[in-house]
Structure 1
C-alpha cells in the first residue's frame, strides 16, 4: 500500500520500479498516442540492444515498408550479419504506451524492445528531427498494416 501522493506519482510514471519491464519503461517515457519521437530508446530497449540498434541504423539496415493512420509503422530490419531480415512493427498503443513486435528470436524470448525495434524507433526519430533516415525505403502510405 502506498500513500496517496506516492500513488499519484506512481501512476504518472515518476516512481517506476528499477526492475520494470521494457514495456513499462516505454509507457513511462511516452507522452501521447502518436509520440514515438519522445521515447528514450536507450532506456526502453532490452539490455544490450541500444548500441546494437545504433549500429544497425548507421549501416542502413532499417527499411520502412508502410505506415498506418493509427501510427503503426512496419519495417524490415537486416540482421547484424546481414544474412536475414526481420519483420518489425511498432505502434503507439493507448496514451503513453508503445507496442513493439519483431520476428527475431530475442523478441520471442524476452519481449520488449529488441535491437531491431529500437533501430526502427531511432530511424523514425531521425525522420522527425529533419535528418534523412539511414537508407530507408520510401514509405508507403496506407490505412493498415498487414499481419505477419
Structure 2
C-alpha cells in the first residue's frame, strides 16, 4: 500500500510539474542609448591620447584644448593645425614638446566635425566649423 501511495504521489507531482509553464526571465531592459556625435568619435580615435578625455592636454607635452585662443579664436589657424600639423609654436605662453602631426587624411567633414566638437565642449563655447571652410583651406 505504501508503495502504491508513493507511486501515486510521484506521478501526481510529475504531472503537476509538466503542466506548469517554465519560468521565464523578464526581458532585459535595453541599455541606455549612448549616442556620440561624429566629432566626438573622431576626437576619441585621433586626439584623446594627446589632449586627454577632458581636453586638458599634458603639461609640457601637449597643449590643452579648453579655453585657449587657439581653439576659440581664428578658425583658419585651427583648421590649419589639423591639416598641416604644428611644432615648436608657443601656445598660451607655454611651450609643448610633442609635435602635432598633420591629420590631412581626415575628410573635410571629419575635420569640421571634430573641430566643432572641440570648440563646443570642454567648457568651450565657439561657433561651428563647416566642411566648406576646411575645403577652402585644404586647397591652399
TM-score by length of 1: 0.28
Greater helix percent: which structure? 2
TM-score by length of 2: 0.29
Query: Larger relative contact order (C-alpha < 8 A, sep ≥ 6)?
Result: 1
Greater C-alpha Rg: 2
Greater strand percent: which structure? 1
